[in-house]
C-alpha cells in the first residue's frame, strides 16, 4: 500500500515587506523602516534575507533586489522567519516609487506616499511575489 505524498501548502506570497516610521535617538532623526520577512518559518535557523538596496532619494526612487537567503553566524540555532531591515533617513513627505525585484528578474513596482498622518500605499499591483504592508497612521 502506498502512502499519500505530503506536499507543502502553496503560499500566496514568498515575502512580506513592512514599511513604518521610526526615530533614531542617537542621530535625533526620523526614518522610514523597510523590514523584509519570509512567510515561511524555518525550523532550525533564523536565516537572513540578502537584499541589495539602491536608493535615489532626489528622484524619489527606492529599489530593493532580493538575492536569496544566507545562514546566520550564530553559536546556537533558533527557529523563525528570515528577515532584513533597511532604515531610510533622507526621506521627504512626498510620493515614492518602490521597485522590488527578486534575483534581478521578477520585478514589481509599488508607489507609496509619506505624509504627517502616515504611510499609504498608492499603487499595489495585483500580480506580485511580495505583500507590502504600510503603517497607515503614525502613533505619536
| Each residue's pLDDT tens digit, 45-90 | 778 899 999 999 889 999 999 999 887 776 566 778 889 999 999 8
Number of H helices, E strands in the chain: 0, 9
Q: Which residue has the higher pLDDT, 77 or 21?
A: 21
Range(s) of the domain holding residue 126? 15-134
Greater confidence (44 vs 64) lies with 64
Q: Is residue 92 part of a domain?
A: yes
Instruction: Check: CB of residue 127 under 8 Å from CB of residue 10.
Output: no
Q: Judge whether 140 lies within some domain.
A: no
Whether residue 95 is predicted with pLDDT greater than 90 in this model: the reply is yes
DSSP state, residue 126: S
Per the structure, the count of domains in the chain is 1
Q: What is the pLDDT of residue 139?
A: 45
Q: Which of 11-15, 48-52, 87-91, 135-139 has the lowest mean pLDDT?
A: 135-139
Q: Quick check: helix, strand or coil at residue 91?
A: coil
The residue among 117, 113, 105, 112 whose CA lies nearest residue 132 is: 112
Average pLDDT rounded to a whole number, residues 39-47: 80
Whether residue 112 lies inside any domain: the answer is: yes
Domain membership flag for residue 120: yes
Mean predicted confidence (pLDDT) in 85-102: 94
Residue 8 placed within a domain: no
Q: Could you tell me if residue 119 is inside a domain?
A: yes
pTM: 0.84
Q: Note whether residue 139 is domain-resident.
A: no
Query: Which is it for the CA torsion 84, 33, 54, 121, positive or negative?
Result: positive
- pLDDT of the residue at 4: 62
Amino acid at each position: 500500500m502506498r502512502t499519500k505524498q505530503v506536499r507543502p501548502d502553496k503560499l500566496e506570497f514568498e515575502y512580506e515587506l513592512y514599511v513604518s516610521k521610526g526615530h533614531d535617538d542617537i542621530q535625533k532623526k526620523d526614518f522610514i523602516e523597510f523590514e523584509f520577512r519570509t512567510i515561511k518559518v524555518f525550523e532550525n535557523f533564523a536565516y537572513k534575507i540578502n537584499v541589495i538596496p539602491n536608493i535615489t532619494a532626489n528622484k524619489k526612487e527606492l529599489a530593493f533586489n532580493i538575492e536569496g537567503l544566507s545562514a546566520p553566524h550564530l553559536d546556537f540555532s533558533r527557529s523563525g522567519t528570515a528577515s532584513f531591515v533597511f532604515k531610510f533617513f533622507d526621506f521627504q513627505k512626498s510620493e515614492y516609487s518602490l521597485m522590488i525585484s527578486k534575483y534581478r528578474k521578477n520585478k514589481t513596482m509599488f508607489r507609496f506616499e509619506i505624509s504627517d498622518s502616515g504611510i499609504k500605499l498608492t499603487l499595489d499591483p495585483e500580480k506580485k511575489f511580495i505583500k507590502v504592508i504600510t503603517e497607515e497612521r503614525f502613533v505619536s
